[in-house]
Amino acid sequence: MNTGSIKSSVAALLKFLDASPSPFHAVEECRQLLEAAGFQRLSESAAWKLNPNGRYFFTRNGSSLVAFTVGGQVVRGIEKNSTAVKIVAAHTDSPCLRVKPLSKKRCKDGFLQVAVETYGGGLWHTWFDRDLGVAGRLVTASKEGTLRERLVKIDRPILRVPTLAIHLDRGVNSEGFKFNSELQLIPILASETMNAKNEWINAEKTEENSGLHQSLFEALRDASKSDQDEIVGLDLCLFDVQKASLGGVYNEFIQSARLDNLFMTFTGLQSFIDSLGSVEKDGDIRMLSLFDNEEVGSLSSSGAESTLVGSTVNRILSSLDSSQQTEAVLARSFLLSADMAHAVHPNYSDKHDECHRPTLHKGIVLKFNSNQRYTTNSRSAAFIKSLASKNGVPLQDFMVRNDSPCGSTIGPILAAQLGLQAVDVGAPQLSMHSIREMAGTEDVEHSIRLFRAFYEGSSGITSVKTLDCCE
């Protein structure tokens, strides 16, 4: 394996993680990388005029993104009824604390605090005693009433949720760390003493309806360079300001927030861009779909339960003046649902099935669940295993224990909506949904190689079509 390429791809992932403290920032990073690779941005509200060998993308809500290429041989493929869509799908959101619309808590015991809402199924105890910044999207209004969306990132520790000293909670080590997320998971912004010494105290009395402490309001306005505008809407995520890093004595572990699922978002994007050289000879449509709101069920206009993929395929075919039915194209298509997977934990190894124990560096995880929490079946598994074997990418099978609940992904949702073959795959990691997670460096390259082989290959798709012909 090329050590140089591993180091390059890992360094790029670390940079992507640090630049993406919110889904909005993640999509913005993807936009920049796509445009640098020659992709044309489309608008959902305008007519599309697409061409073979074209590169396109669009965003929805600023937090989800679909990019696609139209193969140079797609017209011929449509005529031969062989065109398919190759989709890699991931998600841009991660569990976090989000600022409530009315977040200005009354001063209590000498502190200014910010009310937050838990988003997703986070390991919330890991958010205590961390240095927290704020990032996301603001909607501002000018004096003339013009509304504008702005990204904002305060990359310094302006918030913190302190734990209670052991002297005041003697049973914490024997009875466990217990807290009420509404009452004790409230970050401190400032002391009342220091706030009184700053100019914000005068403005506090005039901003009763802003919903924000004036000190936070001004910090957000400064960070978003909207000094003359009022903040009229916000989608703000708290994030750990500690940067992504490499760890272990051999620098083999990626230690960062939001590995679930920005690891797969990045490797999906990187493989998509890396495969562009073969688009001209391709008769298929390649697609990268990055959804928001996976962590809360995907039921939103920018989530996997939306019309995002199906309507996009339909519009692509319509723009190409194709008489081919969308359903027929999708029936020949294939989906890789890419979401991080649970590596076996050396301190809790009994939590894994004894025969299904993925580990870091040993390859991409192929997920199975007969109760359809994952979408992999015997047919789709055979395809992905064949593809991986031909391209030297190791795979690991995963299935939860019978006495353990199983999480799910966007895979079953998309497979059911679109009516196509699909697998659930992901890189193995530890500490999933912690404020700081852990994965292996070699699995970055494993992911990129697998996804690129999927985009560039055709024999595997053909074999699935052949199986379908037997029905």
What DSSP assignment string belongs to 374-397? S---HHHHHHHHHHHHHTT--EEE
What is the reported pLDDT for 257?
A: 99
Domain with CATH 2.30.250.10 in the chain: 96-240
- Name the DSSP letter for residue 467: H
Q: What is the CATH number of domain 96-240?
A: 2.30.250.10
Reported confidence tier of residue 442, pLDDT bands at 50, 70, 90? very high
Does residue 470 surpass a pLDDT of 60?
Answer: no
Does residue 1 surpass a pLDDT of 50?
Answer: no
pLDDT, tens only, 227-236: 778 889 999 9
Q: Are 435 and 126 in contact (CB under 8 A)?
A: yes
Terminal CA-to-CA distance of the chain, rounded, Å? 41
What is the reported pLDDT for 199?
A: 62
Q: d(Cα 160, Cα 189) in Å, to the nearest integer?
A: 7
* Closest alpha carbon to 136 in 20, 58, 33: 20
Tokens representing residue 376 in the block: 């992999």
Q: d(Cα 224, Cα 452) in Å, to the nearest integer?
A: 37
Q: d(Cα 263, Cα 243) in Å, to the nearest integer?
A: 15
Q: pLDDT above 70 covers what percent of the chain?
A: 93
Tokens representing residue 294 in the block: 């996976």
Q: H/E element holding 36?
A: helix 23-36
What is the reported pLDDT for 108?
A: 85
In this structure, which topology does domain 3-94+257-469 adopt according to CATH? Answer: Aminopeptidase (3.40.630)
Secondary structure of the chain: what % helix, strand, coil (to 5)?
A: 35, 25, 40
* 226 or 121, greater pLDDT: 121
Half-sphere exposure of 368 (CA within 13 A, CB side): 20
Pairing type for strands 85-91 and 334-338 reads parallel
Domain with CATH 3.40.630.10 in the chain: 3-94+257-469
Map tokens 């960062």 to a residue.
256
Q: What is the mean pLDDT of the chain?
A: 92
Q: How many residues does the structure list for the chain?
A: 471
Does residue 76 surpass a pLDDT of 50?
Answer: yes
Tokens representing residue 281 in the block: 């000879």
pLDDT, tens only, 292-336: 999 999 999 999 999 999 999 999 999 987 777 889 999 999 999
Reported confidence tier of residue 460, pLDDT bands at 50, 70, 90? very low
What is the reported pLDDT for 206?
A: 44
Stated pTM of the model: 0.94
pLDDT, tens only, 22-34: 999 999 999 999 9
Beta strands in 144-284 (DSSP E): 147-159, 188-191, 230-240, 245-247, 253-256
